[in-house]
Amino acid sequence: MGTQTLEASFERITVNDDYDDLYNPSAYHKSKGSLSTAMTLTGLATSTSAGNRMKLPLQKLQSTTTTTSTITKVHLPSQVAQHNRDQSSSAASRPSDDPSALTHVRSSIPQQPSSPKLFHLGMFEIGKPLGKGKFGRVYLAKHRSSGFICALKVLHKSELQMGKVEKQVRREIEIQSNLAHPNILRLYGHFHDAKRIFLILEFAGKGELYKHLRKEVRFPEWKAAQYIAQMAAALKYLHKKHVMHRDIKPENILVGIHGEIKISDFGWSVHAPNNRRKTMCGTLDYLPPEMIKPTGNDSFYSEKVDLWSLGVLTYEFLCGEAPFEDEPLKTQKRIVRCEMTVPGYVSAEAKDLIKKLLVVDPEKRISLEDVERHPWIIKHCVKGERATNRSAELAKMMRKSGDK
Ligand code: AMP
């Protein structure tokens, strides 16, 4: 898009700080095709595959950079991350502890000589609401100049302050924007106005994994194995970057348009290059023994906490509920003793993997490399196969058998 068109379209847009609900079609009369926004976006979202990384906006955005002059000077988040790493190799992705940095979340992004405005609300056409979290709403959105479909998460600064989660959000932004893996939800960029923070996220077309699990009650073994293989790949990537997620559970996993899973919600994650942490966090059902009952040297824990959670997740995928689910005190007791039984309908191979992940001593838990090589995973995962492929195959088989 040429400079003229871009500037003209920006002139027509005013960014109103006081929109309580962004999805208010009448509020968007200033932009083209406002009333049909949601439908158009939904259609586009399906055709613009979330998994097709070549279609990412950011490449297109980069070319915009070279053709526009004054209004936008857009930078690739990945370039920014790269620049960060180059500028201060260790400090860039490490969460800082200064809560005042919230209103300047972009302070982690290197200062450009001309101080360019990276993103602002007017650059996006807002579509249907995708969901509501504890601290904000998420909308389907289209980056106007590139047509790229994304999810825009809107967080109100006052709510973050009241909930005392500024640090958590800052950490989420800093960590997630430095990650790029097919099974981890991308955070392409962020911007803020006086009252809100906006996160530009990859759109996960099939929504929450938690909802799929509740609907299906339990996943069949092939599907659970494929999901766990994807989780292991994502965790391997995270741990290589010295990031522990610390809150792995179905509620924090989204599903892409091709049925691939995407770890999201890095609110509890931490960049810990020294591999040792002390803070208690996460969700009780998924907490490992070393975080529940810290004593002496054990009061430190490592990225192996995520292996325990992967065991809990495997169990929950196959059985429909977490293995230690009980009243909170009983759950804690059961976790530290690893008191759980795997139901008889679970295959011997799956049971073996669960037992190798749910090991009280973190050092004795199976490694992620060995998870990927585990017979249960090998049995159900043809290299590169995704859960939907299998669903499509099954549907085809069912259609065929129905024809007979
Ligand atoms: P959150 O505040 O991150 O918990 O998001 C609230 C809800 O919005 C989630 O439970 C999802 O249903 C939906 N959602 C969040 N992010 C995305 C995304 N990137 N793609 C699709 N839906 C999303």
Out of 134-138, 147-151, 154-158, pick the least confident. Answer: 134-138
202 is in an annotated binding site: yes
Complete DSSP assignment for 74-136: ---HHHHHHHHHHHSTTTTTSPP--GGGGGGGGGGSPPPTT------GGGEEEEEEEEE-SSE
Asked whether residue 305 is domain-assigned, the answer is yes
Q: Average the pLDDT over 151-159 and give the result.
A: 96
- Looking up residue 21, the CATH number of its domain turns out to be 3.30.200.20
Asked whether residue 115 is domain-assigned, the answer is yes
Enter the DSSP assignment of 359: -
Per-residue pLDDT of 7-32, as tens digits, reads: 222 222 222 323 334 544 333 232 32
Co-location of 222 and 355 in the same domain: yes
CB 290 within 8 A of CB 196: no
Q: What confidence category does residue 171 fall into, taking pLDDT thresholds of 50, 70 and 90?
A: confident
Asked whether residue 395 is domain-assigned, the answer is no
Winning range, highest mean pLDDT, from 11-15, 172-176, 194-198, 399-403: 194-198
Question: Domains in the chain: how many in total?
Answer: 2
Per-residue pLDDT of 48-66, as tens digits, reads: 333 322 222 332 223 333 3
Nearest CA to ligand 1 atom 7: 131
Name 24's Cβ contacts closer than 8 Å, sequence gap at least 6. none
Task: Compute the distance between CA of residue 154 and CA of residue 198 in angstroms, rounded to an integer.
Answer: 5
Per-residue model confidence (pLDDT) at position 194: 94
Is the pLDDT confidence value at 334 over 70?
yes
Half-sphere exposure of 146 toward its Cβ, with a 13 Å CA cutoff?
A: 20
Ligand 1 pocket mutation, candidates 130, 140, 215, criterion most atoms within 8 A of CB: 130
- Looking up residue 222, the CATH number of its domain turns out to be 1.10.510.10
Nearest CA to ligand 1 atom 15: 138
The ligand 1 atom at the shortest distance from the C-alpha of residue 136 is 2
Asked whether residue 289 is domain-assigned, the answer is yes
**Residue type at position 198:** F
Nearest CA to ligand 1 atom 8: 131
Per-residue model confidence (pLDDT) at position 306: 92
251 is in an annotated binding site: yes
Per-residue model confidence (pLDDT) at position 303: 86
Task: Compute the distance between CA of residue 114 and CA of residue 126 in angstroms, rounded to an integer.
Answer: 29
204 lines ligand 1 (CB under 6 A): yes
Per-residue pLDDT of 309-332, as tens digits, reads: 999 999 999 999 999 999 999 999
* CA 247 to ligand 1 centroid distance, Å: 16
Per-residue model confidence (pLDDT) at position 274: 55
282 lines ligand 1 (CB under 6 A): no
Co-location of 32 and 135 in the same domain: yes
Winning range, highest mean pLDDT, from 168-182, 280-294, 386-400: 168-182
Q: What confidence category does residue 370 fall into, taking pLDDT thresholds of 50, 70 and 90?
A: very high
Is the pLDDT confidence value at 304 over 70?
yes
Geometric angle at alpha carbon 191, from 189 and 194, rounded to 5°: 165
Residue 97 among the catalytic residues: no
**What Cα–Cα distance (Å) separates residue 212 from each residue in 6, 166, 228?**
40, 31, 15
Element (H, E) at 170: helix 166-176
* Dmax (CA) of the chain: 70
Per-residue pLDDT of 220-258, as tens digits, reads: 999 999 999 999 999 999 999 989 888 889 999 999 999
From 178, 201, 224, the end of a domain falls on 201
Which residue has tokens 């929504």? 207
Q: Average the pLDDT over 87-104 and give the result.
A: 33
Co-location of 169 and 249 in the same domain: no
Per-residue pLDDT of 378-392, as tens digits, reads: 999 976 554 544 555
The ligand 1 atom at the shortest distance from the C-alpha of residue 132 is 6
Asked whether residue 345 is domain-assigned, the answer is yes
* pTM, full prediction: 0.69
Of 77, 78, 61, the C-alpha closest to 123 is 61
* CA 364 to ligand 1 centroid distance, Å: 35
Per-residue model confidence (pLDDT) at position 12: 28
Asked whether residue 391 is domain-assigned, the answer is no
Co-location of 363 and 251 in the same domain: yes
The ligand 1 atom at the shortest distance from the C-alpha of residue 265 is 3
Task: Compute the distance between CA of residue 4 and CA of residue 7 in angstroms, rounded to an integer.
Answer: 5
* CA 60 to ligand 1 centroid distance, Å: 25
Asked whether residue 396 is domain-assigned, the answer is no
Per-residue model confidence (pLDDT) at position 27: 33
Co-location of 51 and 138 in the same domain: yes
Burial of 327 (0-12, 13-18, 19+ CB in 10 A): exposed
Enter the DSSP assignment of 383: T
From 169, 201, 233, the end of a domain falls on 201
Co-location of 364 and 284 in the same domain: yes
From 201, 220, 249, the end of a domain falls on 201
Co-location of 168 and 61 in the same domain: yes
Residue 199 tokens read as 């996160």
136 lines ligand 1 (CB under 6 A): yes
Asked whether residue 108 is domain-assigned, the answer is yes
Q: What confidence category does residue 4 fall into, taking pLDDT thresholds of 50, 70 and 90?
A: very low
Which domain, by its residues, includes 304? 209-383
Co-location of 261 and 179 in the same domain: no
More confident residue, 299 or 106: 299
CB 21 within 8 A of CB 123: no
The ligand 1 atom at the shortest distance from the C-alpha of residue 134 is 2
- Catalytic entry in 193, 247, 306, 326: 247
Packing angle, helices 221-240 and 348-357, rounded to 10 = 30
134 is in an annotated binding site: yes
**What Cα–Cα distance (Å) separates residue 186 from each residue in 27, 201, 264?**
29, 6, 8
